[in-house]
Amino acid sequence: MSYRKGLMVLCVAVLCSPGLYAQSASSGRLLSVDEMFRLADENSKSIQTYSTAREAADQALQAAKAQRLPDVSASLSVSYLGDGRLWDRDFSNGTNIPMPHFGNNFALEAQQVIYAGGAVNSSIALAELGQQMAGLDAQKNRQEIRFLLIGYYLNIYKLGNQRQVLQKNLELAEQVIRNMEARRNQGTALKNDITRYELQRETLKLQLAQVEDARRIMNHQLVTTLHLPAGTEIIPDTTLLSSDVPALAESDWQQMALQSNLALQQSGLSVEMGKQKVKLERSELLPKVALVAAEHLDGPITIEVPVLDNNFNYWYVGVGVKYNISSLFKNNKKLKQARLNARKAQEEHELAAEQVENAVQAGYVNFLTSFTDLHTQEKSVQLADENYRVTSNRYDNDLALLTDMLDAGNMKLSADLALVNARINVVYNYYKMRYITHTL
């Protein structure tokens, strides 16, 4: 009966260590959620791309503000003038007019817009809104990257637990096969009994290989996103499951979403951008007023006959008014289009508010369900522990078969695994609520 005692020792060793692989891993990098987020902010290519886009939006704002500066232009030309020809009105009596052959022209002109119908201010306002939109895009991408990483992180945690359970089950199957072989040699077991457990062993090996491959894929994706050294094995922080999850009501989450959800903020910015585009199109229907100043130096003076071989300098300052009459029948269509786009943006903002409200409600229900699942799994663990204790006593007193003992052990292992996964689901749904409200 020594094999019975050996099997009991193995079962107790397995079942007394619920199998959090991260606690037993001897190599790899222990990574907390906060450190993972910090590494993502520093190394993620996606986050860096959006940071560059935000810098480009900053420059677009500076370019829009530069429209308030005066327009200054300078021109200089040197030319060769041929002789002139003078006729009567009927082109008779032609006379050759000698001309100075060297001509020069220099002009310096400046213009400062003082009224453009609000076009300059609207362009600057649009650029400011574009800058804010780029900032929200960067923040939204940061939230998406963090939620993606949380998914990788918790999946690695789950797969690690599955690997641990499968390994322990495989060890038990191997032990059973060895015991059955010994019993077959004694004539107390049949070949088909051994075949049954050999089939179970091969199934466990396949499941273990699939779990290890899935975990390796998740680990690689997480390492790549964080730009850690190739081959780094991520070990999740097991204290994550023991941390307190804030108990907030649905109304609290809804309020957080109204204040922090980036999609809502972006749709609100789109509404403001639509209003500014309406103002910009309306400005095309108004006159443009500008202060102008110029300095000219021309030679020779060709408006006199004979031509004066002199340089003529003159300057002026004044006020210029420009009005595009064609805008009355061209720009009204664009103005109508801008108003429709503004109304569309407002409707999309209202739709986004509905979608966020629905997402928060659905996420909150799933969050509550994960707690129900957790309580159910806690009860299952209690029942599995009790079943294992009773079966163990019966087995010690030769009132239960070896298969009964193994079934009880597998039930306890599965219950322990389901409990840990239920705790992981609670954490995942909590982070999902934070993602929906964009407070990650």
What distances in angstroms separate CA 302 from CA 79, 84, 157, 199, one per listed residue?
A: 13, 10, 90, 109
Closest CA to 403 of 177, 164, 191, 188: 177
Pseudo-torsion of CA 233, 238, 244, 246, nearest 10°?
30
pLDDT at residue number 439: 92
- Domain positions in the chain are 2-87+95-436
Question: Measured between alpha carbons, how far is 157 from 167 in angstroms, rounded to an integer?
Answer: 15
pLDDT at residue number 264: 93
Closest CA to 305 of 108, 49, 50, 96: 96
Question: Measured between alpha carbons, how far is 258 from 7 in angstroms, rounded to an integer?
Answer: 59
Burial of residue 151, with CB atoms counted within 10 A of its CB: 0-12 exposed, 13-18 middle, 19 or more buried: middle
Pseudo-torsion of CA 230, 235, 237, 242, nearest 10°?
150
Domain 2-87+95-436: CATH superfamily is Outer membrane efflux proteins (OEP) (1.20.1600.10)
CA 225 to centroid of chain Cα atoms: 12
On whether the CB atoms of residues 149 and 386 are closer than 8 A, the answer is no
**DSSP collapsed to 3 states, the chain:** CHHHHHHHHHHHHHHCCCCCHHHHCCCCEEECHHHHHHHHHHHCHHHHHHHHHHHHHHHHHHHHHHHHCCEEEEEEEEEECCCEEECCCCCCCCEEECCCCEEEEEEEEEEEEEECCCHHHHHHHHHHHHHHHHHHHHHHHHHHHHHHHHHHHHHHHHHHHHHHHHHHHHHHHHHHHHHHHHHHHCCCCCHHHHHHHHHHHHHHHHHHHHHHHHHHHHHHHHHHHHCCCCCCCEEECHHHHHCCCCCCCHHHHHHHHHHHCHHHHHHHHHHHHHHHHHHHHHHCCCCEEEEEEEEEEEECECCCCCCECCCEEEEEEEEEEECCCCHHHHHHHHHHHHHHHHHHHHHHHHHHHHHHHHHHHHHHHHHHHHHHHHHHHHHHHHHHHHHHHHHHHHHHCCCCCHHHHHHHHHHHHHHHHHHHHHHHHHHHHHHHHHHHCCCC
Q: Across the 440 residues of the chain, what is the mean pLDDT of every consecutive 10-residue run?
A: 43 43 56 91 86 90 90 93 87 87 92 86 90 91 93 92 85 80 73 78 89 94 90 87 81 93 93 92 89 92 83 91 84 88 93 95 94 93 91 79 77 85 92 93
Q: Which residues contact 226 (CB under 8 A, 6 or more apart)?
A: 36, 39, 40, 43, 44, 149
Chain segment 203-234, per-residue pLDDT in tens? 889 989 999 999 999 999 999 989 888 888 99
pLDDT at residue number 23: 41
pLDDT at residue number 21: 44
pLDDT at residue number 13: 41
